[in-house]
Structure formats: structure tokens, C-alpha cells
Structure 1
């Protein structure tokens, strides 16, 4: 099953690449790798939620938002790699979680992104990862995800 077919089976569609908020591009290909810029949980051009995880945003909601970030990252990779089917594997994921000072569940939040990548790409979606708690993210987003993909 292709990654596109797997997305459809999951009831998802690859979104349009999210426009940059500043002076950068969503993804850059260098040789056999694509590096994405940080992807926010933007749906239909709007940020899906704002606030700190563990305060205004629940960990469960943040996990879903991380899935959205990963979907946006896949769109960015596909845009410079000629489609999802050209992804050989996801090499590295970095997830940033805007966290209430008492919140320490960043790995579980970023699992939302990791699990989506594995669902869509199978073994090729399994990756190395960092999950980092931060004070604030652009636009007061709760989660941001970036990734590195090996491509054909």
C-alpha cells in the first residue's frame, strides 16, 4: 500500500504546504535528504489551538495537534521530493512542546507525530527523536514539529 493510500485509509488527506511565517522555506532538499522547517498545527490556514500544554491545552489535545504538525511536515517533504512515495524513511523528528512549568509529558505529546508517521509510512516512518519542552512557540502554538527524511 502506498503512503497516499494509507493516508486515505486513515481518513486523511495531504494538506497544502503551510506558508512560511517569516523569511524561510517550508522544506529544503539536500542530496537524498529533506529538512523541514518547524511545522505548526495549522489546519485550513488557521492555527488549530493556542496556549501552553498542561495549562490551556490538555496533553491529549496536544498529542492530536502533534499529529497535525506531522501531517503538515509530510506535505512539506512531498512538495520537494515529488510525493510521499519517494520517502525512503523518516530519519529524525524534533518536537517542541510549549509547556506549563509543571508539565513534563513532552514525549507523550510528540508521540502523536511519531505514531502518525509510522501509520502512514510503516517501518520507514520509525525514526530517532527529541521531544523538548519550551516556554513559548510562534503564534503561541502548543506544539511544533520538524523532521528530516531520506528520499529517492
Structure 2
């Protein structure tokens, strides 16, 4: 087990199976020392644990957890491409899309669910640039979608 997967276990977490794409794309690509994911939904055992808009059907706290779940899905996709998460030298960028009710303006707080987990997993290597974007709707009515870019050796 890699050091990163050991750290996940210490946090009470584990990598899921790589989520099957819901359209014509691949979950991740790795080349030239960078690995990027497609948008990762917060699937748990192939199902979305919640649907709807954050600030309406989905609470801020639920959305933060869904963002963290999306991180685990993204890391699983990256592991499939690079073989070992210990090869990650830096989390470079995180983009979090939040399906938002019209009055909801706390997208950065939703994204903190992802950012804070990456910090717990990778320490200083988990610090990254980030965008948190409110959108009208996401695939399958998911509340959150996340893209992850990492550097690796």
C-alpha cells in the first residue's frame, strides 16, 4: 500500500473503483509529468448520494462532503493512469463546479471540502490554485463536479 493510501486509511477513507464515464471521454490522462482528470462526480458505489442544487435541496455541509468524495474519485482515476499516488509531487489545480440555487453564493466554501481533504492527504504538496464556479445544472443533477490536476514523477 502506498504512503498516500496509508494516509487515506488513517483518515478513515479509501480509494473507490474508478467511476465509469457517463459520456464519450476518459476519466484521466497523464503525460509529461502532469495528470488531469475529467469532471468527477461524487459517485459512491456507482450512485450519487444526493442530487439537486446547493442552497436548496443540498446543504453547504453536504456539498462540502460531496466535493471531498469527488476528490477521492479523481485520485482513483489518477492512480489508474500513473500507477502509484506516491508519484504525485504536487496538487496543481482544483476546479469545483457547484450546481447552485439562485441565491447561493458560497461556492468557495463548498470547494473547501475538496481543498481541505487534499491538504490532509498531501500536506504542503496539497496546496493548489483553485476555481469555484456556480453553475445552473450539472450532469445527472449532481450538486458538485470536480476537476483535478497534479504533477507527478
The answer to whether the superposition gives a TM-score over 0.5 is yes
Residue of structure 1 equivalent to 2:57: 56
After superposition, give the CA deviation of every residue in 1:129-148 in whole Å (9 maximum; x if it has no partner): 00000000000000000011
* Distance in 1, Cα, partners of 2:59 & 2:116: 18
Moved more, 97-106 or 83-92: 83-92
Deviation digits for residues 66-118 of structure 1 (CA, Å, limit 9, x no counterpart): 00001111111111011211111110000000000000000000100011111
- Pairwise CA distance, 1:2: 1.7
In 1, Cα distance between equivalents of 2:123 and 2:76: 17
Question: What is aligned with 1:125?
Answer: 126
Q: Distance in 1 between matches of 2:29 and 2:101?
A: 32
Match of 2:16 in 1: 15
> Which residue is equivalent to 2:148?
147
Give the equivalent residue in structure 2 for 1:29: 30
Q: CA deviation at 1:37?
A: 0.3
Q: 1:90 matched to which residue of 2? A: 91
Q: Give distance in 2, aligned partners of 1:16 and 1:122.
A: 24
Describe the SS at the equivalent of 2:58: coil
What is the aligned-residue RMSD (CA, Å)?
0.9
Secondary structure in structure 1 of the residue aligned to 2:122:
helix
* Cα shift at 1:32: 0.3
Unaligned runs of 5+ in 1: none
1:4 CA displacement: 1.2
The Cα of 1:29 is off from its aligned counterpart by 0.8
* Alignment TM-score, normalising by the size of structure 2: 0.97
TM norm structure 1: 0.98
Runs of 4+ in 1 over 2 A off after TM superposition: none
